Amino acid sequence: MHLLEIKDLGIIFGGLQALNDLHLVVDDKEIVGLIGPNGAGKTTVFNLLTGVYPPSGGAIRLEGNSIIGKKPFQINRIGIARTFQNIRLFKYMSVADNIKLAMNHNMKYNVVSGMLRLPSFWREERAIDKKARELLKIFDMEELADQMASSLPYGQQRKLEILRALASNPKLLLLDEPAAGMNPTETRDLMEVIRRIRDRFNVAILLIEHDMSLVMNVCERLYVLDYGNLIAAGTPEQIRTDEKVIAAYLGK
């Protein structure tokens, strides 16, 4: 059984077929890339996977169970977490709070014990705080824990968004253009980070990216979209020499 299995997935916006008959699978601990020119429908796939849009047709299964019709917060809880193309951190909260918020639904204490500061509240609050700081340590960001999220430099905000997604303990992590706006050094650093995340958290990663050096280096398999259609799938070597892909990117 595949971790994620997408079959015949499609969505129509008004009269526009934004995505057509997509077939895609991701296995445990795989790093898979989703590439294609601008407007190909890549982010639409993420929005379908996370329940933001309902598909017009097709099936999405996580560990064999359909997730279609589930609400975004339910899908997050059963194991799909994501980052955004344009960073969407909670800017007015601290770095640690951003992470703790994504862990929230695993906490057991209720409003009353929170208000009254019962021991169970403190115990759990301490455990969560410790976990959040441990997560930050992975990216050497632990000394930033109490800063406002909006005060971090851009590259750190991207990393924080990835950590926030990881905090909800996903089986599948969706990264939407993680290298956008990064310089070559930061991008190289990011490749290392992506591999480290996979090994440490045992998650599968599906990522959208325009930076070909990153995609070709990190991804084990690639899917290529163009105008909502899947035009190629395979290993980076196969994709690099695929005529349809070259035509889609460069024109014929």
Partner 1 sequence: MDFLKHIINGLGLGSIYALVALGYSMVYGIVQLINFAHGDIIMVGGYTLYVVMASLGLPLWVAVPASILLCALVGMIIERVAYQRLLVHNAARISLLITAMGVSIFLQNSFMLMFGSAPKHISVFPSQLIRLGSLEMDSSTAINIVVSVMMMAALQILVNKSKIGKAMKATSEDSGAAKLMGINTYKVIAFTFALGSAMAAVGAILYCNTYPQIKPDMGNLLGLKAFVAAVLGGIGSIPGAMLGGYILGVAESLTMAYISTTLTDAVVFGILILMLSVKPSGLMGKNRKEKV
Chain contacts with partner 1 (rule: CB under 8 A): 50, 52, 71-73, 76-77, 81-82, 84, 88-93, 97, 100-102, 104-105, 107, 109, 111, 114-115, 164-165, 168
Q: How far is the CB of 196 from partner 1 (least distance, A)?
A: 22
Q: From CA 76, how far away is CA 39, in angstroms rounded?
A: 25
Quick count: other Cβ atoms within 10 Å of Cβ 108?
9
For residue 223, what are its two tokens? 């899917």
Q: How many residues does the chain have?
A: 252
CB of 135 to partner 1, least distance (A): 14
Query: How many C-beta atoms lie closer than 10 Å to residue 251's C-beta?
Result: 7
Q: How far is the CB of 203 from partner 1 (least distance, A)?
A: 15
Of 84 and 227, CB closest to partner 1: 84
Cβ proximity to partner 1, 111 vs 250, nearer residue:
111
Q: What pairs with residue 225 in β-bridges?
A: 230
104 vs 213, beta carbon nearer partner 1: 104
Which amino acid, 45? V
In 3-state terms the chain splits into helix, strand, coil percentages (rounded to 5) of 45, 25, 30
Residue closer to partner 1 by CB (options 67, 165) is: 165
Report yes or no: 76 and 173 within 8 Å, Cβ to Cβ. Answer: no
Q: Which is nearer to partner 1, 76 or 187 (CB)?
A: 76
Query: E-strand spans in 63-210?
Result: 65-66, 80-82, 172-176, 204-208
Q: CA of 38: how far to CAs of 57, 69, 73, 87, 210, in Å? A: 23, 28, 28, 18, 9
Q: How far is the CB of 115 from partner 1 (least distance, A)?
A: 6
The least distance separating partner 1 from the CB of residue 145, rounded to whole angstroms, comes to 15
Which residues pair with residue 25 across a beta bridge?
A: 5
Residue 107 vs 233, nearer CB to partner 1 = 107
The minimum distance between CB 73 and partner 1, in angstroms, equals 5
Whether residue 229 contacts residue 202, with contact meaning beta carbons closer than 8 Å, is answered with: no
| Nearest residue (CB) to partner 1, 4 versus 218 | 4
